[in-house]
Amino acid sequence: MRLAFAGTPEFSVPCFEACRASGAELVAVYTQPDRPAGRGRKLAPSPVKQAALATGVAVEQPESLKSAEAQQRLADYRPDLLVVVAYGLILPRKVLAIPRLGCWNVHASMLPRWRGAAPIQRAILAGDAESGVDLMQMEAGLDTGPVLLSRRTPIHRDDTGGSLHDRLAALGAQVLAEGLRRTLAGEVLVATPQPADGVTYAHKLEKAEAKLDFRRPAIELERQVRAFDPWPVAEAEIAGESLRIWAARAIEADHHAAPGSVLASGREGIDIACGNGALRITAVQRAGGKRIGAADYLNARPDLRQRP
Q: Report pLDDT digits (tens) over 261-304.
A: 999 999 899 999 999 999 999 999 999 999 999 999 999 998 88
With a CB cutoff of 8 Å and minimum separation 6, the contacts of 157 are none
Query: Which of 2, 21, 25, 1 shows the shortest CA–CA distance to 13?
Result: 21
Q: Domain range for residue 275?
A: 207-305
pLDDT band at 306 (very low <50, low <70, confident <90, very high): low
Verify that 168 and 269 share a domain, yes or no.
Answer: no
Buried/exposed code over 149-182 (b: 16+ C-beta within 10 A; e: otherwise): bebebebeeebbbebbbebbbebbbbbbbbbbee
Q: How far is CA 9 from CA 66, 85, 184, in A?
A: 21, 9, 27
- 45-77 pLDDT tens trace: 999 999 999 999 999 999 999 999 999 999 999
The amino acid occupying position 29 is V
Q: How many domains does the chain have?
A: 2
In total, the chain counts a number of residues equal to 308
Write out the binding residues for (6S)-5,6,7,8-tetrahydrofolate: 109-112
Which ranges of the chain would DSSP assign to H, the alpha helix? Answer: 13-20, 47-55, 68-76, 93-96, 119-125, 161-184, 218-227, 294-299, 302-305
Do 128 and 224 lie in one domain? The reply is no
Task: Specify whether 151 is located in the same domain as 231.
Answer: no
Same domain, residue pair 262 and 191? no
Q: Is residue 216 very low, low, confident or very high in pLDDT (cuts 50, 70, 90)? A: very high
Same domain, 118 and 219: no
Angle, alpha carbons 83-171-233 (nearest 5°) = 100
* 109 contacts 131 by C-beta, under 8 angstroms: yes
CA end-to-end distance (rounded Å), the chain: 67
Instruction: Give the pTM.
Output: 0.95
For the four alpha carbons of 230, 14, 144 and 82, in that order, the dihedral sign comes to positive
Nearest to 101 by CA among 184, 21, 35: 184
pLDDT at 308 over 70: no
Taking only the tens place, the pLDDT of each residue in 122-172 is: 999 999 999 999 999 999 999 999 999 999 999 999 999 999 999 999 999
pLDDT at 236: 98
Question: What pLDDT, on a 0 to 100 scale, did the predictor assign at position 202?
Answer: 98
In percent, how much of the chain has pLDDT > 90? 95
Domain end: 178, 202, 226, which one? 202
**180 and 279, same domain (yes or no):** no
Q: Specify the CATH number for the domain of residue 18.
A: 3.40.50.170
Tell which of 179, 202, 225 closes a domain: 202
What confidence tens digit (pLDDT) does each residue in 232-271 have?
A: 999 999 999 999 999 999 999 999 999 999 999 998 999 9
Q: Beta partners for 215?
A: none
Close Cβ partners of 185 (under 8 Å, ≥ 6 residues apart): none
Q: Within this chain, do residues 23 and 121 fall inside the same structural domain, yes or no?
A: yes
* Strand partners of residue 279: 250, 272
Q: Which residues are annotated as a binding site?
A: 109-112
Per-residue confidence at 40, pLDDT binned at 50, 70, 90? confident
Out of 175, 202, 229, pick the residue that ends a domain: 202
Specify whether 75 is located in the same domain as 187.
Answer: yes
173 and 234, same structural domain?
no
Which of 239, 249, 253, 247 is closest to 300 using CA atoms? 239
CA atoms within 13 A on the CB side of 186: 0
Question: Same structural domain for residues 295 and 165?
Answer: no
- In this prediction, residues 9-38 reach a mean pLDDT of 96
User: Which CATH number belongs to the domain containing residue 299 in this structure?
Assistant: 3.10.25.10
The answer to whether residues 153 and 275 belong to one domain is no
17 and 55: one domain?
yes
